[in-house]
Amino acid sequence: GESVGLHLPTLSVQEGDNSIINCAYSNSASDYFIWYKQESGKGPQFIIDIRSNMDKRQGQRVTVLLNKTVKHLSLQIAATQPGDSAVYFCAEGEANSKLTFGKGITLSVRP
Amino acid sequence: GAGVSQSPRYKVAKRGQDVALRCDPISGHVSLFWYQQALGQGPEFLTYFQNEAQLDKSGLPSDRFFAERPEGSVSTLKIQRTQQEDSAVYLCASSSRGIGGNTIYFGEGSWLTVV
């Protein structure tokens, strides 16, 4: 699989490969982190979340890793499928406060 | 309802016109958020309600923007004297608790174009 930081807006992967999408967050006080997937013309769809007292959480085909030391969040997608093609956003928040979204990365899956 | 519902889905407004965007959150959800998303950008926070109380409106870009949730359920975002820079997707989201609590679910958005 490939990895990309937020300064590279597009990630292209081969169908079946693993994808890694990275995100650097800015607020050291953030204690809640979420990954959203947004398809064209639709609202953001929740993928997976993680709280600051954890460093890894797994879902179905997805894993989120949190490194609070360097304020880095990543989303790993196993066996990427064409239906995974979308824009992915990381978001961070504090208790009783707003979510702040990153700029987003486009994931393009090659058949 | 099954999800967050927003209406209208698409709105074309003439510059200077007032618009009202409606959000029906998931039934029983205490928290409601409004976000603005410009083309090619991530959502930007506008305002947050817990029940009928507007706890944070720091993201509203000007006094032309006003949001309400009088009975702690349905919310309306009103934009007065619309301008071209108001063209964006307006997203509503809800959760059963506040940030750091339960999952925040988004609606499909209201697409506003000001001409």
Specify the pLDDT at position A98. 81
pLDDT digits (tens, 9 = 90+) for B6-54: 999 999 999 999 999 999 999 999 999 999 999 888 999 999 999 999 9
Please give the C-alpha separations between residue B39 and each of A38, A60, B25, B44, in angstroms, as whole numbers: 12, 30, 24, 12
Give me A108's structure tokens: 């393009």
Contact B109 A89 (CB under 8 A): no
Confidence of residue A5 (pLDDT cuts 50, 70, 90): very low
Contact A31 B100 (CB under 8 A): yes
- The chain B residue lying nearest A49, using CA atoms, is B103
Q: CA–CA distance from B58 to each of A83, A95, B16, B48 (Å)?
A: 36, 16, 23, 9
Mutation for testing the B interface, residue in A96, A103, A106 having most B CBs under 10 Å: A96
Which candidate from A43, A95, A102 shows the least CB-CB separation from B100?
A95
What is the DSSP annotation of B39-89? TTS--EEEEEEETTEEEE-TT--STTEEEE-TTSS-EEEEESS--GGG-EE
pLDDT for B88 beyond 80? yes
CATH number of the structural domain B5-101: 2.60.40.10
DSSP reduced 3-state for A93: strand
| CB contact (8 A) between residue A96 and residue B98 | yes
C-alpha B88/C-alpha B21 separation (Å) is 12
- Give tens-digit pLDDT for B53-78: 999 999 999 999 999 999 999 999 99
pLDDT band of A95, cuts 50, 70, 90: low
Cis geometry, peptide bond prior to residue B8 (ω within 30 degrees of 0): yes
Closest listed residue to residue B21, CA positions, set B2, B4, B40: B4
Extents of the domains making up chain A: 2-110
Contact assessment for residue A101 and residue B43, using Cβ atoms and an 8 Å cutoff:
yes
Both tokens assigned to B94: 């809800």
Contact A88, A105 (CB under 8 A): yes
Report the alpha-carbon angle A65-A47-A103, nearest 5: 75
Contact, B27 vs B47, CB < 8 A?
no
B34: nearest Cα among B16, B47, B23, B25: B47
Q: What is the structure's pLDDT at B102? A: 66
Tokens of B61: 């870009």
Q: Is B103 close to A49, i.e. CB distance below 8 A?
A: yes
Q: How confident is the model at residue A1 (pLDDT cuts 50, 70, 90)?
A: very low
Over the Cα atoms of chain A, what is R_g? 13
**Fold type of domain A2-110:** Immunoglobulin-like (2.60.40)
